[in-house]
């Protein structure tokens, strides 16, 4: 049980807009079994979104989301963790689903659902760790603005820049608009590369695939919000250092759209699990 509240200001690097939010969110969680939990929270949020430019060349799909919105939402989350370790899992699965219902007060109404399933398995005396991660999300309703829609890329779809795929308005600087639907699948294998184990250096291979689509307004067909699949193949280097676990990814897209933004190298603070 707990409560969080505060005021945040965020400026998007990929869109000429700034969002100022004032929120309060009480929440409660309790176990359902030894390895499953349920979390319930209520979010009351006042959002004031403004343009950060005075230029007239801003997409009407962006300006439609400018203004003040009051959001009242109930958020329900369920998690079941059947892995063999919280820190370094090598077998089992971890599943989480979140349901968000907006419209119990406020002036916006939509539902947002997303789920994630991650599985682990080992081969060859546990030297090779195989990981698969499936994610998907759906928004029902027409009130979800650009700040509440899904985005894909970066750590969520390696081989593409953060917010690098999905619907854009090509007539206005290719600003990413997000989508109401997404799906992604990541398959990875990590393994020793001959370095002594005490150095904590491992290698990896991965293939990521996914799609992001769905807008209520495509401005008379000018915006492409099709569900075409993107995919990328790459290699990773994992290094457990004193400052934390580091991950280096080198990747190359296999299938992409002309307007997608590729990313051939990415450095993150992440483990091989």
In a domain, 65, yes or no: no
- Reference 208, options 252, 267, 272; nearest CA is 252
What pLDDT was estimated at residue 139?
Answer: 98
262 assigned to some structural domain? yes
**Cβ(61)–Cβ(174) below 8 Å:** no
Please check whether residue 32 lies inside any domain of the structure.
no
The residues, any chain, with a CB within 8 Å of residue 220's CB and separated by 6 or more, are none
Residues 147, 17: Cα–Cα separation, whole Å: 10
Q: pLDDT tens for residues 85-96? A: 988 899 999 999
User: Would you say 38 and 76 are in contact if contact means Cβ atoms under 8 Å apart?
Assistant: yes
Mean pLDDT of the chain: 93
Residue 184's domain comprises 82-269
Q: Are 229 and 210 in contact (CB under 8 A)?
A: yes
Domains held by the chain: number: 1
Tell me: pLDDT of 227 over 90.
yes
Q: What is the pLDDT of residues 104-154, one digit of tens each?
A: 889 999 999 999 999 999 998 888 999 999 999 999 998 899 889 999 999
Q: In CATH, what number is assigned to the domain containing residue 176?
A: 2.40.160.50
Tokens of 50: 């403004």
Q: Specify if 224 maps to a domain.
A: yes
Residue 145 maps to a domain: yes
The helix (H) or strand (E) run that includes residue 206 is strand 201-213
pLDDT of residue 273: 65
* 93/121 Cα distance (integer angstroms): 9
Phi and psi at 269, nearest 5°, equal -95, 105
Question: Quick check: 82 pLDDT over 90?
Answer: yes
User: What pTM does this model have?
Assistant: 0.93
Of 69, 135, 146, 78, the C-alpha closest to 102 is 69
Residue 154 lies in a domain: yes
Strands 36-51 and 67-81, by their bridges, are: antiparallel
Q: Is residue 71 part of a domain?
A: no
Task: Examine residue 15 and state whether it is found in any structural domain, yes or no.
Answer: no
């Amino acid at each position: 049980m707990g409560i969080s509240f505060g005021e945040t200001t965020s400026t998007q690097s990929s869109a000429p807009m700034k969002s100022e939010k004032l929120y309060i969110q009480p929440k409660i969680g309790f176990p359902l079994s030894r390895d499953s939990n349920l979390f319930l929270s209520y979010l009351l949020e006042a959002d004031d979104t403004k343009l950060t430019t005075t230029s007239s060349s801003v997409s009407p799909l962006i300006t439609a989301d400018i203004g003040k919105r009051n959001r009242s939402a109930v958020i329900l989350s369920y998690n079941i963790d059947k892995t063999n370790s919280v820190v370094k899992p090598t077998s089992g699965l971890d599943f989480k689903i979140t349901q968000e219902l907006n419209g119990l007060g406020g002036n916006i109404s939509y539902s947002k659902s997303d789920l994630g399933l991650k599985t682990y398995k080992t081969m060859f005396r546990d030297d090779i760790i195989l990981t698969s991660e499936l994610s998907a999300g759906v928004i029902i309703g027409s009130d979800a603005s650009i700040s509440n829609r899904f985005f894909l890329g970066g750590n969520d779809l390696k081989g593409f820049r953060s917010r690098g795929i999905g619907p854009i308005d090509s007539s206005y600087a290719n600003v990413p608009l997000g989508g109401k639907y997404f799906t992604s699948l990541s398959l990875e294998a990590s393994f020793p590369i001959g370095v002594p184990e005490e150095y904590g250096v491992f290698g990896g291979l991965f293939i990521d695939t996914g799609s992001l689509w769905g807008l209520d307004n495509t401005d008379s067909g000018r915006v492409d919000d099709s569900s075409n699949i993107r995919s990328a193949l790459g290699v990773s280097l994992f290094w457990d250092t004193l400052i934390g676990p580091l991950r280096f990814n080198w990747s190359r897209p296999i299938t992409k759209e002309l307007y997608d933004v590729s990313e051939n190298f990415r450095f993150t603070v992440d483990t091989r699990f």
